[in-house]
Amino acid sequence: MSVQERKQRERAERERLIVATARELAEQLGWEAVTTRRLAESIEYSQPVLYSHFRGKREIIGAVALQGAGELAAAVRAATSVADGPRARVAALARAYLDFAARNPAVYDALFQLDGGLAYAQEDTPEPLKDAFAALLETLEGVAGDGVPPGLYTEVFWAALHGLATLTRAGRLLPEDAEARVELLVDRLAVV
């Protein structure tokens, strides 16, 4: 292995450590607690080293969002791949999405609430974000209904899931009705 390859590997490892530490701090203490100073102390590198990887917190949030998008896509695909039939796949998608949001609140915020400097719904949208949307579309395009563009239907279904995730987390919805909400969403929005 050349010196340059070793340096590139070490740089990639430092970047993974920064992102993992930021994510851990955000999950434990909230994004307000994630500062470049605290991150530098946590990973035992100087702030200039941290800035050599990310220009600031915004880019770190973006990196966490991209990582989370991949995880969300994997969770949705895993859940829908074992479901039998269109209705069961849509319900599995909804449960997987809501479960991901509940288990990873800081990552969910990085993806959908905070400014990570990422383009959404544009030509230059990063691939992990496109793939997360594609994971939803793969299941939902078959239940959009006649004359309904699958992408538009997916956006509306996603918006409903996002609303449920956000309102549930804020304590605005009764937790005991979570499954009934999923069933109602699937029954009313999915043409199966």
pLDDT at position 191 is 82
User: What mean pLDDT, rounded, does the chain reach?
Assistant: 95
What secondary structure does DSSP assign to 54-117, as a single string?
-SSHHHHHHHHHHHHHHHHHHHHHHHHHT--SHHHHHHHHHHHHHHHHHH-HHHHHHHHTS--S
Q: Does pLDDT of 42 surpass 90?
A: yes
d(CA 26, CA 60): 11
Q: Does pLDDT of 192 surpass 90?
A: no
Share of the chain above pLDDT 70, in %: 100
Model confidence at 3, in pLDDT bands (50, 70, 90)?
Answer: confident
Token code pair at residue 150: 């699958």
Count of residues making up the chain: 192
Please compute, for residue 21, the number of CA atoms within 13 A of its CA located in the half-sphere on the CB side: 20
pLDDT at position 153 is 96
d(CA 110, CA 58): 9
pLDDT at position 113 is 96
Model confidence at 189, in pLDDT bands (50, 70, 90)?
Answer: confident
Burial-class residue 91 by CB neighbours within 10 Å (0-12, 13-18, 19+). buried
Q: Does pLDDT of 45 surpass 80?
A: yes
- Tell me the mean pLDDT in the region 136-165: 96
Model confidence at 94, in pLDDT bands (50, 70, 90)?
Answer: very high
pLDDT at position 114 is 97
Please compute, for residue 129, the number of CA atoms within 13 A of its CA located in the half-sphere on the CB side: 20
d(CA 133, CA 95): 16
d(CA 103, CA 125): 25
pLDDT digits (tens, 9 = 90+) for 156-186: 999 999 999 999 999 999 999 999 999 999 9
pLDDT at position 181 is 97
